[in-house]
Amino acid sequence: MDAKTQKAELTRAAIVGAALDLAAAEGLEAITLQAVADRIGLSKSGVFSRIGSREALQMAVIDEFGRRFLADVFLPAMQQPKGLPRLNEVVRRWIIRTRDVEAQQGCIFTAGAFELDDREGPLRDHLLGEVTRWRAALRRTVLLAVEAGHLKADTDTEQVVAALYGLVMGLLHDTRFLRDRRAADRAQQTWDRLLKTYQS
């Protein structure tokens, strides 16, 4: 990679990072080319030339949040054996990330879902696609635990995914709004109890 290309990629990463910080603090709709330009000392046209439209920048933020989320939660858990060890690691890392990252910066997946739930259009569709892919990966992880014989054969994978989502959304609420320092411990205990009902 030549120096010019590397500089362009670093500038683009800085733009998306600044937009992600803005979205975490104020929501996806707060992202504008000018607001991001002001944050990193570029002109509005400089941001546009590297990213494109405001909607393209919003989508890039969703992509970057998803990339960071998977890097923290899902990809490291793939080092664990298939089945319950992997599922438990996914949940453990998800709880830790919610406590340590989303509790401080907000969750684009969750906040974005509330922000865009009653709107139609490409931005909602893009966020829906990212969330749907994450849920599908989570569902596959649960299914592998069933196939490994670690969970009961009649385990409803959709129900487990829904329960996990409810657990993490409750954790996000309690850590961010209630500022409950023990919320993550309670979330882990809730998962441990829930898991016992599914184990074979």
* Residue 1: per-residue pLDDT: 63
Residue 150 — left, alpha, or beta (φ > 0 → left; ψ -120 to 50 → alpha)?
Answer: alpha
Between 1 and 111, residue with greater pLDDT: 111
**pLDDT tens readout for residues 79-106:** 999 999 999 999 999 999 999 999 888 8
Q: Residue 3 above 80 pLDDT?
A: no
105-119, pLDDT tens digit by residue? 889 999 999 999 999
pTM (predicted TM-score): 0.91
Strand segments, DSSP code E, in 94-190 are none
C-beta atoms surrounding 116 within 10 Å: 20
Higher pLDDT, 5 or 41: 41
* pLDDT tens digits, one per residue of 47-81: 999 999 999 999 999 999 999 999 999 999 999 99
Contact (Cβ atoms closer than 8 angstroms) between residue 142 and residue 87: yes
pLDDT at position 5 is 73
At 13, the amino acid letter reads A
Write down how long the chain is.
200
Residue owning tokens 């803005």: 22
For the chain, the straight-line distance linking the first and the last C-alpha, in angstroms and rounded, comes to 52
- The shares of helix, strand and coil residues in the chain, as percent rounded to the nearest 5, are 80, 0, 20
The angle formed by the CA atoms of residues 44, 128 and 67, to the nearest 5 degrees, is 65
Asked if 189 and 167 touch (Cβ cutoff 8 Å), the reply is no
Compute the mean pLDDT over every residue in the chain, rounded to the nearest whole number: 94
Q: Cα 92 to the chain's mean position, in Å?
A: 14
**Strands, DSSP E only, in 56-153?**
none
pLDDT category of residue 178 using cuts at 50, 70 and 90: very high
C-alpha span between 121 and 193 (Å, rounded): 40
| 54-72 vs 33-40: helix crossing angle, rounded to 10 | 60
Q: Compute CA distances 85 → 32, 155, 164, whole Å.
A: 43, 17, 16
pLDDT given for residue 2 in this prediction: 72
Residues 148-177: what's their mean pLDDT?
Answer: 96
Q: Phi first, then psi: what are they for 151, rounded to 5°?
A: -115, 155
Residue 151, SS3 per DSSP: strand
* Lowest pLDDT segment from 8-17, 65-74, 126-135: 8-17
pLDDT band at 6 (very low <50, low <70, confident <90, very high): confident
The pLDDT assigned to 167 comes to 97
* Domains of the chain with CATH codes: 1-54 (1.10.10.60), 73-198 (1.10.357.10)
Phi, psi of 199 (to 5 degrees): -70, 140
Provide the pLDDT confidence category of residue 179 given band limits of 50, 70 and 90.
Answer: very high
